[in-house]
Amino acid sequence: MTAQPIDGTALATKIYKKLGDEVKTLLQVGVQPCLATVLVGDDPASRHYVHKKQEACKLLRIEVLDFQLNSNISQDELVSVIEELNGNEKVNSILVQLPLPNHIDETVLHSISPDKDVDGLHPLNLGLLLQGKERFVPCTPKGIIRLVKSTGILIESKHVVVLGRSNIVGKPTAILFLRENATVTICHSKTPNLALFTTQADILVVAIGKPRFVGGSMVKERAVVVDVGITKSGGKFVGDINFESVSKVARLITPVPGGVGPMTVAMLMENTVLAAQMQFKNKDGS
Ligand code: NAP
């Protein structure tokens, strides 16, 4: 048996088609969606991700304001840049690319206006997500749920195991699966005997940043496996799953590249269009 790949690129393409129509409608009423991308420093991987996001904007006719800031910018200076973008009426949405240099605390993200926070990482947006009243859902977790739903698998009553508990991937992913009435287990670096948990997962999500860490012996027969990890190794991108060995056990598996990555970008575009729609409605009073 070989697992079927879950094609994130194909699903993202479908989403772009729908978003293209929504952008067209906004343009017809005089609203030009606009995303400000803020990149601090010159990390090649971060530069690559920002470029991918800007290319998607171009495809959808979303305007981009590109801010490339020096890696030694201070916390206060970065907050000033964000506050200026908050006050700029032309800008609907703000993306600060992570990770930030070590001297900058990620609490700078708290200074992004919650109405423009398309990464969904402002405490207000994370709090709303926790309460089930979400507006902007973090892009990677949102993309993961869409990918799993696209397979037609019923999430309700399944056991979902999430490896990794970061604020950007692991925790919001667990919350979203809980909202779909799955039973959720979260594992992390201090979890002893990981395989005890992973082999019980009907749906296994791996977001730890350790290349090829999860092999076939850690996976339940016929499981759905979502590989979030991306690490550059030997000139190519690899995931946290050992694709060859897990493919022999799992039923469905996301490839790296071409699985979660394209969906993260598509969900950022969806959140950007949503921000423009919400701001237009607020202005219009309708
Ligand atoms: P992160 O902030 O470094 O968090 C990693 C998590 O994995 C932590 O919770 C850590 O546990 C846990 N962990 C580390 N080693 C482990 C081990 N041996 N066993 C069990 N758990 C372990 O990383 P992240 O931002 O969540 O990203 C994770 C991966 O996803 C990275 O490769 C990143 O590049 C990738 N990513 C991909 C996308 C995409 O669009 N495809 C988007 C975002 C991130 P502790 O909390 O105990 O330290």
- 130-174: pLDDT as tens digits: 999 999 999 999 999 999 999 999 999 999 999 999 999 999 999
CA distances from 73 to 1, 77, 109 (A): 52, 6, 15
Of the candidates 117, 119, 202, 240, the residue annotated as catalytic is 119
pLDDT for 282 equals 87
Number of other CB atoms surrounding residue 217 within 10 Å: 12
pLDDT for 136 equals 98
pLDDT for 284 equals 76
Per-residue pLDDT tens digits for 194-232: 999 999 999 999 999 999 999 999 999 999 999 999 998
Among 179, 184, 213, CA closest to 201:
184
Taking CA atoms only, the protein residue closest to ligand 1 atom 5 is: 208
pLDDT for 254 equals 98
CA of 240 to the centre of ligand 1 (A): 9
- Position 286 pLDDT exceeds 70: no
CB 239 within 8 A of CB 227: yes
Rounded average pLDDT over 249-270: 98
Taking CA atoms only, the protein residue closest to ligand 1 atom 31 is: 209
pLDDT for 1 equals 74
193 lines ligand 1 (CB under 6 A): no
Residues 6 or more apart in contact with residue 18 via CB below 8 angstroms = none
- Position 283 pLDDT exceeds 70: yes
The question of whether 232 is a catalytic residue gets the answer: no
Mean predicted lDDT score pLDDT of the chain: 97
Res. 233 pLDDT band, cuts 50 70 90: confident
141 lines ligand 1 (CB under 6 A): no
